[in-house]
Amino acid sequence: MIIVMKESATDGQVYRVMDRVEAVGYRAHLSRGAKKTVVVALGDVRNGERIESVGLLPGVESAIPILEPFKLVSREFQEASTVVRVGKVEVGNGSFTVMAGPCAVETEEQIMESAWVAKKAGAHVIRGGAFKVRSSPYSFQGLEEEGLRLLKKVREQTGLPIVTEVVSPSDVDIVAAHADILQVGARNAQNFALLKAVGRARRPVLLKRGMMMTVEELLMSAEYVLLEGNSQVILCERGIRTFETATRNTLDLSAVVVLKHLSHLPVIVDPSHAAGHWKYVIPLARAAVAVGADGIIVEVHPEPEKALSDGMQSLKPEKFCRLMSELAVLSAAMQRLNRLPS
């Protein structure tokens, strides 16, 4: 339930409402906006009759049931879109954010060259995996702590923030000490212990959709992070597993539209993992702009043929530069369209 306080409500009245919410078995979550103060009651719906009495307390304007199973991530809870801030970069502010770099950190020379290519082309965030979750135990598993050290060096030299994946709750602290954005990958999107841990880390979180997850399940995973007090979450559509085998996954662009309708969180697209082949990445990235995504995360490698991970879907530097030029044109066109009266 959402309890909307009157503009004239005092702090004492707000705290009395919160005390009442918790007294009847719910958890009270306070949100202060520019004009409205809202208390969200989170808990067992079987206490519904008892919570309704909160609407009669002084200072309460209205008490509205939240119909969706996800509460904190919903538009019902927060109508205004969340903007995730990472240093000088803002994701979800109406501009198009590009995160780029290799799938995995392999060597210092490789990650540095990739990062400078990404920066010079206009990318806003550098991506690179230090810890890798691979389908085969015999595949390259990442440089781990050495990879984190190299990523930190990349940030120091390029000035751009870093996003990298964390695969275990026990690694959250060390990854958070080196990275600016903590990525939760598709295979861990329903690892609830990890979601809680990144929620407590107070770093922005990039949450990828699992390959078999529904939109609702993705939002419920994001709810775990927000419930720990971390509202800086970016959702990522990276393709789902279907019967189609022509691409690595099936990119569900309709999910971007649905997610932005249901949730206030920013949404980006990963065309690299969706396509599985570099030939398809640029057209899918263009489509992400057109459908209203807040950005993309794309794989770039100076020598994809020598990559230890996902070389087939990585763009070479010249292809990435071409992509960035096209995205600039498309983004400007979409901004003009969005300004037209509906």
Neighbours of 129 (CB within 10 A): 27
Structural domains in the chain, sorted by start: 2-64 (3.30.70.1140), 84-338 (3.20.20.70)
Pick from 170, 187, 194, 183: nearest CA to 128? 183
Give burial (CB, 10 Å; 0-12/13-18/19+) of 61.
Answer: middle
Structure tokens at 226: 């927000």
Instruction: Please tell me the number of Cα atoms within 13 Å of 337 on its side-chain side.
Output: 10
pLDDT digits (tens, 9 = 90+) for 234-250: 999 999 999 999 999 99
DSSP three-state, residue 183: strand
pLDDT digits (tens, 9 = 90+) for 282-298: 999 999 999 999 999 99
Structure tokens at 36: 């409205």
Q: 321 versus 39: which is more confidently predicted?
A: 321
User: In terms of C-beta distances under 8 Å and separation of at least 24 residues, what long-range contacts does 251-256 make, across chains too?
Assistant: 251/275, 251/284, 251/287, 252/209, 253/287, 253/288, 253/291, 255/209, 255/215, 255/218, 256/288, 256/291, 256/292, 256/293
pLDDT digits (tens, 9 = 90+) for 91-117: 999 999 999 999 999 999 999 999 999
Which band of pLDDT confidence, cut at 50, 70 and 90, is reported for residue 48?
A: low
pLDDT digits (tens, 9 = 90+) for 316-325: 999 999 999 9
Give burial (CB, 10 Å; 0-12/13-18/19+) of 68.
Answer: middle
Neighbours of 115 (CB within 10 A): 27
Q: Torsion angle, CA of 178/179/182/183, rounded to 10 degrees?
A: -110
Which band of pLDDT confidence, cut at 50, 70 and 90, is reported for residue 47?
A: low
pLDDT, mean of residues 175-190:
97
Residue 260 has pLDDT above 90, yes or no: yes
